[in-house]
């Protein structure tokens, strides 16, 4: 069984459960590949993939597996020269770092009732794994 997932999901959720799965199903060989990019299941020989998001990916079936808590974090040195943060929209004046394959900032802004007029993030992080 070939599984594609993010490294965070593999480390925090999948790998801690792997030994129990292998004890129960010793006949199943498992291959785990970690990446954040959207994979082509057929051409890459992947049986299933786990990704973060709200679903709605065309030609794929998506199932909710887990809930996730999103919270922004900030370096004190970044905000110190300006002022303290008093409202969620105050964050939108700062550079928003984000993974180009995830919807975290858009989801967070929606959850707190804010919209960003300049698009999400000015600096994207491109995972190499």
* Chain mean pLDDT for the chain: 80
Residue 102: domain span: 76-125
Query: What is the enclosing helix (H) or strand (E) of 41?
Result: helix 41-44
Query: What is the enclosing helix (H) or strand (E) of 84?
Result: none
**Going along the chain, which residue ranges are E strands?**
2-5, 31-34, 48-49, 97-99, 123-125
Domain harbouring 22, CATH code: 3.40.190.10
How many domains does one find in the chain?
Answer: 2
Note whether 106 and 120 are within 8 A (CB).
Answer: yes
User: What's the pLDDT at 100?
Assistant: 63
User: What's the pLDDT at 122?
Assistant: 53
Look at residues 33, 49, 65 and tell me which one is the last residue of a structural domain: 49
Chain segment 32-54, per-residue pLDDT in tens: 999 988 899 999 999 999 987 77
Q: Which two tokens stand for residue 88?
A: 């969620």
Quick check: 64 pLDDT over 70? yes
Note whether 116 and 94 are within 8 A (CB).
Answer: no
Same domain? 7 vs 44: yes
Per-residue CA distances from 14 to 18, 20, 32 (Å)? 6, 11, 9
Q: Is residue 7 part of a domain?
A: yes
User: What's the pLDDT at 116?
Assistant: 58
Quick check: 10 pLDDT over 80? yes
- Rounded mean pLDDT, 25-31: 97
Q: Please indicate whether residue 58 or residue 31 has the higher confidence score (pLDDT).
A: 31
Quick check: 119 pLDDT over 60? no
Q: How many helices (H) and strands (E) does the chain have?
A: 5, 5
Quick check: 5 pLDDT over 90? yes
User: What's the pLDDT at 102?
Assistant: 64
CA angle at residue 50 from 47 to 55, to 5 degrees?
110
Q: Please indicate whether residue 30 or residue 72 has the higher confidence score (pLDDT).
A: 30
Instruction: Select from 26, 52, 51 the least CA-distant residue to 39.
Output: 51
pTM: 0.65
């Amino acid at each position: 069984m070939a599984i594609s997932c993010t490294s965070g999901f593999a480390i925090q959720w999948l790998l801690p459960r792997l030994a129990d799965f292998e004890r129960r199903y010793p006949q199943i060989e498992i291959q785990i590949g970690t990446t954040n990019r959207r994979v082509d299941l057929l051409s890459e020989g992947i049986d299933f993939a786990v990704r973060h998001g709200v679903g709605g990916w065309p030609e794929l079936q998506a199932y909710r597996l887990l809930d996730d808590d999103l919270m922004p974090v900030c370096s004190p040195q970044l905000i110190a020269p300006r002022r303290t943060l008093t409202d969620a929209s105050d964050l939108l004046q700062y550079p928003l770092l984000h993974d180009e394959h995830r919807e975290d900032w858009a989801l967070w802004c929606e959850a707190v009732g804010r919209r960003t007029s300049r698009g999400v993030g000015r600096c994207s992080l491109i995972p190499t794994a």
